[in-house]
Amino acid sequence: VMRRNPFGMDICCRKGSRNPLQELYNPTQVSLSNTAILHQIRRDQVTDTCRANSVSSRKRRVLTPNDLKHLVVDEDHEMIYCYVPKVACTNWKRVMMVLTGRGKYSDPMEIPANEAHVSSNLKTLNQYSIPEINHRLKNYMKFLFVREPFERLVSAYRNKFTQKYNTSFHKRYGTKIVRRQRKNATQEALRKGDDVKFEEFVAYLIDPHTQREEPFNEHWQTVYSLCHPCHIHYDLIGKYETLEEDSNYILQLAGVGSYLKFPTYAKSTRTTDEMTTEFFQNISSEHQTQLYEVYKLDFLMFNYSVPSYLKLE
């Protein structure tokens, strides 16, 4: 099979050459081996956390196809990416479309954001048969990207509840949150659900009723529940804080680093640590403690310390 790279030269598929998994665990380049050590430390942290919390984390030992719908497969480069909303997943989906598009796309940033989220544009692991799934989990390089859990949460809140255009979220979740968390809500607020306060959002997340009623929406679901790192061994754990380095390292391992770079953009609106601190100012220490419990495994597993602004009980 011949594939075109973005510069129009024909390059043959990578069969026969080393795949990313081999390159990761037995690097041929010195520059790759230093980074490999960092990722080994991150993998060990996940393994240790899973072991230490095995009582809670091993409850569902068998993964169902539904558990695999966040794992995007790139057959050509033998890679699997578990996408986590609010952790550069739009750009990573764009990159995956370039990698799997067989020359259809060459510049990730030319792909409109909404097109990157059309599910039919990328193939996910749940679309394969059980033997095919097992083969890919064993032989492909698996990676995901994580972010400080509360920064990710504030980012999700800002994006879904403070932007006027997100009416579907306001209708689906906002109205429910207002109805449940706001005393004396106006008829308009109950109908529109477009003015949810962060305190109300937090109260909704820690409400046992919410947990029983339906799974969290993927934008605030824990990474632990979206990507199942205690059941799936991830070879690489990229971090939002080192997004460019980690992303380009993955593209290097895939053998495409010479012509494909991860898109960089200085987004002035992105949620920062200072911003997150501000949002948590009005959350009671009781609610902070309960919320930390919900996201605790993500903090531990990906080595994020308890934020200094928290007043835990």
Report pLDDT for 11: 38
Domain assignment present for residue 198? The answer is no
Domain assignment present for residue 37? The answer is yes
Domain assignment present for residue 292? The answer is no
Query: For helices 89-100 and 243-253, what crossing angle results, to 10°?
Result: 20
Domain assignment present for residue 11? The answer is no
Rounded to whole angstroms, the Cα distance separating 181 from 202 reads 10
Instruction: Tell me the whole-structure pTM to 2 decimals.
Output: 0.91
Domain range spanning residue 117?
32-56+63-149+222-269
Long-range contacts of 282-285 (CB under 8 A, 24+ apart): 282/198, 282/199, 283/198, 283/199, 283/202, 285/311, 285/312, 285/313
Report pLDDT for 61: 62
Name the domain count of the chain. Answer: 1
pLDDT per position as a tens digit, 118-173: 999 999 999 999 999 999 999 999 999 999 999 999 999 999 999 988 999 999 99
Domain assignment present for residue 202? The answer is no
Report pLDDT for 35: 84
Domain assignment present for residue 24? The answer is no
Domain assignment present for residue 284? The answer is no
Place of tokens 């041929």: 28
**Three-state SS at 140:** coil
DSSP labels for 66-86?
A: GGGTTEEEETTTTEEEE--TT
Report pLDDT for 60: 54
Rounded to whole angstroms, the Cα distance separating 58 from 298 reads 15
Rounded to whole angstroms, the Cα distance separating 96 from 81 reads 8
- 8 Å CB contact between 151 and 239: no
CA distance readout (Å), 153 to 32, 143, 148, 190, 261 = 32, 21, 9, 23, 28
Domain assignment present for residue 201? The answer is no
Q: Which residues of the chain have pLDDT under 50?
A: 1-16, 57
DSSP labels for 200-225?
A: HHHHHHH-HHHHHHSPPPTTTS-HHH
- 8 Å CB contact between 294 and 206: yes
